[in-house]
Homo-oligomer: A and B are copies of this chain.
Amino acid sequence: MNGTGSKSEQAYAQLKDRILSGDYSPGYRLVLSSIANDMGFSVVPVREAIRRLEAEGLVTFEHNVGATVAGIDPDLYLHTMQTLSIIEGAATALAAPSVGKDELAQARDLNRQMREVLTDFDPVRFTRLNTEFHALLYAPCPNPHILDLVHRGWNRLGRMRTSTFQYVPQRSHASVEEHEHLLDLIESGAPASDVEAAARAHRTNTLNAFLAQNGQPPSPI
């Protein structure tokens, strides 16, 4: 009857939404009874939802204490971004042969918009365009498992992903150029390894800019 299905499912979707949107920020204590009351159902489906979120790494759980929204300490950020650079690079390479003219045109347009934003820099808008740009390029990846990992990775980063370029605004210029290069590679049907290397290096560069700013050594991969 209900399109969204079970309450457990609804609870899962709502919690995930609130966490990803930053409504519940890291460290927020997820009290079962409160959430259940808010949503209007009992604690059982909420518990199940939280278990799933736990397995995805969005919340941490402590026995007899409860769940809290998982934070992102610098280490976790490094590790997740490193992993994402690897997986998203592979996804982009695998997707490349299936990227059509339409997508390429869209991507070029997005990059043009990003170039415009450079003159009057708006980090949040730039980051959103950037996210769209990359999503467009890896979406045709024929391996759903890899796509799933990409999505989970970005989810783990939570709200930080919506504002990456707030932290490394100086990367934005190089980023736009690298995008252009990546598009050329894809359009020209370059070997998968080249596309992968470019896509990965692009992410790694942003990560390293972030690390350098915090006085940390660059990622070895």
Contact = CB atoms under 8 A, between A and B. Distances in A.
Interface of A: 5-6, 8-9, 44, 47-48, 51-52, 54-56, 63, 76, 79-80, 82-83, 86-87, 90, 93-94, 97, 143-146, 149, 192, 196, 220-221
A5 B143 contact: no
B144 A79 contact: yes
Given A47-B48, A86-B87, A192-B220, 6 more contacts: A8-B51, A79-B143, A82-B143, A83-B145, A97-B220, A192-B221
Contact of A146 (B9, B83, B90): B83
B220 A79 contact: no
B143 A6 contact: no
A9 B220 CA distance: 36
8 contacts: A48-B51, A52-B54, A79-B144, A80-B145, A82-B146, A83-B146, A86-B90, A196-B221
B94 A220 contact: yes
A221 B94 contact: yes
